[in-house]
Structure 1
Amino acid sequence: MTKPIIGITSGFVKLSNFSEGDYAHQDYITSLIKAGAVPLILPIAPGPCVDQYAELCDGFLLSGGCDVNPQYFGEDPSPGCGVFDTERDEAEFQLVRLAIKKSKPVFGICRGLQVMNVALGGTLIQDIPSELDHPIQHEQKVPRRQGSHRVSLEKETQLYKVLKEQESIVVNSLHHQSIDRLGDGLRTAAFSSDGIIEAIDMTDNGLLMGVQWHPESMTAGGSELMLDLFKHFVDTCKEMKQANSEV
């Protein structure tokens, strides 16, 4: 069987008046290749292009990046809300819903987990430091390939099984927003000591999984446990590609 093609969503970066464009961190690419996939960076694009993305790719990795526009979960921006990209939000919401419709796996990382949640009707905490009474440090000061805090895993979830049924693990952390109310069909798969939802999956199938940390950078730093997340995702893409081809 040919390797599955995994579309990686991108953000827009402007380095100067002479250098700007779509961007995805190299660690996503490295991790997917290690896991046996062919990575493909997807530029932010209008709806018809997203329709084609959904046909072209066997699965999707929703990458990290800027904040989600709070208008999509019925709120105005709080003082702590950062920069958002409405065009990217709309493209990724569309991609999540098309992937579910077409039974194609989605792996959301950091912002990607938040996008999945909002696409399915959930809400976000716009700024953890200003909205939680006693938050831990979620924007770590150490390099991104190092873990910084623990998360507890919920038993009987997909994530718990993939991560060798460990009750807790150490993860890295580079975010200031997080899930507030869960979207339709989603459940908590991990949480931090201050109550922040750190991972989700779907209750009725194994096609959607999201984590709030950055396993791609821990994988690039040598973590075999985090590589298992990518292997599981890529294997699921292979299985669904085969199943869809037989329909």
Structure 2
Amino acid sequence: MSKPIIGITSGFVKLTAFSKGDYCHRDYITSLMKAGAVPVILPIVPGPCVDQYIESFDGFVLSGGCDVNPKFFDQDPALNCGEFDTDRDEAEFQLLRGSMKAGKPVFGICRGLQVINVALGGTLIQDIPSEVDHPIQHDQKVSRKQGSHRISIHSDTELYKLLSSQDSMMVNSLHHQSIDRLGDGLHTAAYSSDGVIEAVDLVDDGLVMGVQWHPESMTVGGDQRMLDLFKFFVNTCSRKKQANLEV
């Protein structure tokens, strides 16, 4: 069977008046290739094109990037809320909901985890340093390939199984927003010492997973456990692809 084709959502970057366009960090591409997939960067597009994405690809990675517009969880922007891209938010909400309906696996990373939560009716902490009591550093000052803080992992989750039944591990951290109230059907898979939710599972599903850290960069840095996360996701895409071919 051919390798699964995985779409990676992108952000929009403007470097100069003559240099701007859709952007995705190279580590996502490298990690998916290492895990046995064919990665494709997806530009932000209107609704009908998102429907075509869902039909054409075997799974999706919701990548990191800017903040989520707080209007989507019925809040005004807090003082320390960063830039947001409403078009990207709407496109990724549609992509997630359509993928769930079509049975296409989705892996949300950093912002992608937050998108999953908001799309399913949850809310976000708009700025951890100003809203969380006794916060640890979530915007690390070392290479993104290195872990910077520890997380605790619930033993009744797929994440726990994937990490060889480890109940804690070091992860990298490059964010200032996080999940507040969980979306419908989600439950916490991991959390940091200040209570920030670091990973979720969709109850009784297995097709939607999300982490707050950046496993793609730790994979490129040589962390086998992070590569195992991508392999699990890619293998899930392969199984669903095969099942769809047999229908």
What SS does the corresponding residue of 2:67 show, helix, strand or coil?
coil
TM-score between the two structures when normalised by the length of structure 1: 0.99
Structure 1 segment 63-78 matched on structure 2, within 5 A: 63-78=63-78
Compute the displacement of 1:206 (Å). Answer: 0.3
Partner of 1:244: 244
Query: Is the 8 Å Cα contact of residues 50 and 91 (structure 2) preserved in structure 1?
Result: yes
Residue-by-residue CA offset, 1:205-238 (whole Å, 9 max, x unaligned):
1000000000000000111110000000000000
Unaligned runs of 5+ in 2: none
Root-mean-square deviation (CA, aligned residues, Å) is 0.5
Asked if the contact 2:62–2:108 (Cα under 8 Å) also holds between the matched residues in 1, the reply is yes
In 2: Cα distance, 1:121 partner to 1:230 partner? 26
Q: 1:74-223 alignment to 2 at 5 Å?
A: 74-223=74-223
State the 1:156 CA deviation.
Answer: 1.3
Aligned length: 247
SS in structure 2 opposite 1:99? helix
SS of the equivalent of 2:7 reads: strand
> Can you list the C-alpha shifts for 1:35-71, whole angstroms capped at 9, x where unaligned?
0000000000000010000011100000000000000
The Cα shift of 1:243 comes to 1.2
Deviation, 1:32, is: 0.1
Instruction: Give CA deviations for 1:131-174 in whole Å, capped at 9, x if unaligned.
Output: 01200000001110010000000111011111111010000000
Q: Percent identity?
A: 74
What TM-score do you get using the length of structure 2 for normalisation?
A: 0.99
How far the C-alpha of 1:204 sits from its partner, in A, is: 1.3
| 1: CA distance, partners of 2:46 / 2:27 | 26
- The corresponding residue for 1:224 is 224
Amino acid in structure 2 at the alignment position of 1:246: E
**SS state at 1:145 partner:** coil
Q: Take 1:245 and 1:119, find their aligned partners in 2: how far apart are those partners?
A: 29
Q: Tell me how far apart the structure 1 counterparts of residues 222 and 15 of structure 2 sit (CA, whole Å).
A: 29
Tell me the CA shift for residue 202 of structure 1: 0.7
**Could you tell me whether the CA contact under 8 Å between 2:36 and 2:231 is conserved in 1?**
yes
2:190 alignment partner, SS class: strand
> d(CA) in 2 for partners of 1:240 and 1:218?
27
> What residue number does 1:22 align with?
22
How far did residue 246 of structure 1 move?
A: 1.9
Structure 2 residue matching 1:222: 3-state secondary structure? coil
Q: Secondary structure at the match of 2:230?
A: helix
- Residue 189 of structure 1 aligns to a residue in which SS? strand
